[in-house]
Structure 1
Amino acid sequence: MEKTTFIYGIRAIIEAIESEKEISKVYLLKDGDGVLMQQLKNIARKNNITTSYVPIEKLNHLARGNHQGAVASISPIQFHSLEQILENIDGESKPLFLLLDGVTDVRNFGAIIRTAECTGVTAIVISEKGSAPVNAATVKTSVGAVFNIPICKVNHIKDAVFLMQAYGIKTAGANEKADDLIYDIDLNQPMAIVMGSEEKGINPSTLKILDHKVKLPMRGDIASLNVSVACGAMLYETLRQRL
């Protein structure tokens, strides 16, 4: 398993961002200041890189050298271009995309990647902001599946939805208030399944533009499933219809 690599030092991280390395997250010292620190904050913000402000003990744990109040984790994978994947799709095929809107837990993310790989998902799409990083925990939970399935980043999941629809791919989002069950719609066609976060679900502006809103039947007292479990149920229903 490839582990997450940490780099440290303000200038080193700035150079890594400018050279377009896949930075998963930047950890900055709480109350850190100075011209270079501000420059790093600005470039991280400009490039939509997740930033976390932490105590010095956290930075000392991540880096064994003079970190200057800044440590960054580099993603163990290279992200793919969604447009390029769509362009290369065979016109006779029935691609299956998985769009994740706000899934932030790395273990849920890893479990979802593993199920997606097992069910023949063409590619997974996440947003630049507000998504779980691809780090060592993600790789471990996915049991290496992260290396076998393309993962694409977009500015906003809504952008990916519009792109899917432009290519004739239907979109179906999980929503507990939906009228239709996942079993009620035709999944044996070019399709994108959209899953939201456990706390907020799919962004309302994204939900509004989807072709279908669907739910899973619930019999127990608990009103919702873990997102990775719900995602697995929907992907396997898709696979069942396609067999």
Structure 2
Amino acid sequence: MNKETIIFGIYPVLEAIKSNKYIDKLFIQKGIESQKIEEIISLSQPNGVSINFVPIEKLDQLSRANHQGIVAIISPIGFSNFENLVEETLSKDKSPLFLVLDQISDVRNFGAIIRTAECTGVDAIIIQKKGGAPVSGDTVKTSAGAIFKVPICKVDHIKDAIFYLKGSGVNVIGATEKASKSLFEVDFKAPTAIVLGSEGKGITKSLFNLLDEQAALPMLGEINSLNVSVACGAFLYEVIRQRR
């Protein structure tokens, strides 16, 4: 992790929050008792910060200095309000396109997906507050700066985001090798959200019943899956092909 993206110690973290720095994740020592840390938590929760209670060994890995039981990961960007952004996008005179990332954990994949999303006109990327790759300096680098051009929304649960998108008239399509239908058989002209699962497990099982459709890429070789960022590119360019 880039040293420039982390701060540690109770007062530096508190001052960063009060100075409106964008905090992506907080790592707090399990069982620690501190009024100042309680204040940090209360100030962070309304801003959608991911708060993780971890063993002290995890904090020692993040910072070899005297962290005082708390380490914060600074985000280089601000995050958009999910519901407001969806409504604003739907009000425009174009068919919207959203990406929903279900626990993408590799920073390089995350950055590559953002870069492709910007190149293909994605209106917003939706991620979960906990469990995914951090928005860090490495993300910025891999995205080639595209992260500053594509709105990113953080939600408590991907499931709730999918419910909201469906209720707003958006077709939610899962990109999965388990699908019997090819992506070339899916109509992407309507308002669409494409769900991409994690590198190891794919789309979370509990989300499958919420999807309007599932689609797969044709695989002609012996390896039965693609890197998630590569698959993302194939899906997004099929959307462009259909909409042009």
* Shorter-normalised TM range: 0.7 to 0.9
CA RMSD of aligned residues (A): 2.7
**1:168 counterpart letter in structure 2:** G
DSSP 3-state at the match of 2:34 = helix
Partner of 1:48: 50
Distance (Å, rounded) in 1 between the aligned partners of 2:186 and 2:233: 17
Partner of 1:75: 75
Q: 5 Å matches for 1:81-230?
A: 81-89=81-89, 90=91, 92-230=93-231
Structure 1 residue 68, shift from structure 2 partner: 2.4
Q: Decide whether the 8 Å contact of 2:27 with 2:59 is kept in 1.
A: no
* Aligned equivalent of 1:35, options 21, 33, 36: 33
Which has the higher mean CA deviation after the structures are superposed, 71-80 or 113-122?
71-80
Structure 1 residue 81, shift from structure 2 partner: 0.9
DSSP 3-state at the match of 1:200 = coil
DSSP 3-state at the match of 2:172 = strand
Partner of 2:63: 59
Cα distance per residue 1:198-219 (max 9 Å; x no partner): 2111112212111111110111
Distance (Å, rounded) in 2 between the aligned partners of 1:77 and 1:131: 16
Structure 1 residue 55, shift from structure 2 partner: 6.0
DSSP 3-state at the match of 1:241 = helix
Distance (Å, rounded) in 1 between the aligned partners of 2:78 and 2:37: 25
DSSP 3-state at the match of 2:210 = coil
**1:9 counterpart letter in structure 2:** G
Identity %: 51
Q: 1:118 to 1:57 in 2, by over 3 A?
A: closer
DSSP 3-state at the match of 1:117 = helix
Structure 1 residue 194, shift from structure 2 partner: 0.5
**1:113 counterpart letter in structure 2:** I
- When the two structures are aligned, how many residues end up with a matched partner? 235
Q: 1:56 to 1:37 in 2, by over 3 A?
A: farther
Per the normalisation by structure 1, the TM-score is 0.85
DSSP 3-state at the match of 1:198 = coil
Q: Decide whether the 8 Å contact of 2:59 with 2:71 is kept in 1.
A: no
Q: 1:185 to 1:202 in 2, by over 3 A?
A: same
- Note the residue ranges of structure 2 that are not aligned, 5 or more in a row: none
**2:238 counterpart letter in structure 1:** E
Distance (Å, rounded) in 2 between the aligned partners of 1:239 and 1:42: 44
Q: Decide whether the 8 Å contact of 1:56 with 1:69 is kept in 2.
A: no
Distance (Å, rounded) in 2 between the aligned partners of 1:39 and 1:69: 9
DSSP 3-state at the match of 1:164 = helix
